[in-house]
Amino acid sequence: MLSRKTATVAAFILFGGAPLAQGADKPTDPQIAHIAYTAGTIDIEAAQQAIKKSKNKNVVGFANDMVRDHEAVNKQALDLVKKLKVTPEDNDTSRSLTKAAAAKRDKLAKLSGAAFDKAYVDNEVAYHKQVNGALKTLLIPSATNADLKSLLETGLKIFQGHEQHAEHVASELK
């Protein structure tokens, strides 16, 4: 049952929010905490790659913002799970996200210059749309702890800003 549930969440996050089957199990708070932390870590790693590879000041500036903001939200998440004495639970969704992100970073590593910049920023737009959709329709509604739900809602507001920022940078690269 756990595999089916977390695979559904992974598919939802990775493929932009295809409708979930009626009656699909919701992730638990420890699973949600791990998924959210993993998603933040993935964006930090992608941004660090962009900071190293890009020569475009707007792309590098955007990437620096991603590192700063996602590190701050991940720190708040770690502080919250310590306060609540909850252990984030690794799950199929977290593992699927990590595997897909590694494959994407490998593809981006083969690019350079304007091709890298465009691929990185386009991926950031798509990634934030997907994560924001998962937060709105699955992770926030599934969270039972009020503090976790509040942190996810705060993260959503920040990440919606990231999506808009990524769209703006993407429009400048065309």
Residue 154 CB partners (closer than 8 Å, separation 6+) = 73, 76
The number of distinct structural domains making up the chain is: 1
pLDDT at 25: 75
**Local mean pLDDT, 10-residue blocks, the chain (174 residues):** 40 38 69 95 97 98 97 94 91 92 97 98 96 95 96 96 97 91
Domain enclosing residue 149, as ranges: 27-173
Domain assignment present for 36: yes
Domain assignment present for 139: yes
Residue 84 CB partners (closer than 8 Å, separation 6+) = 145, 147, 148
Please list the alpha-helical segments (H only) found in 15-145: 29-53, 57-84, 92-109, 113-134, 140-142
pLDDT at 47: 98
Domain assignment present for 16: no
pLDDT at 174: 77
119: its two tokens: 């691929």
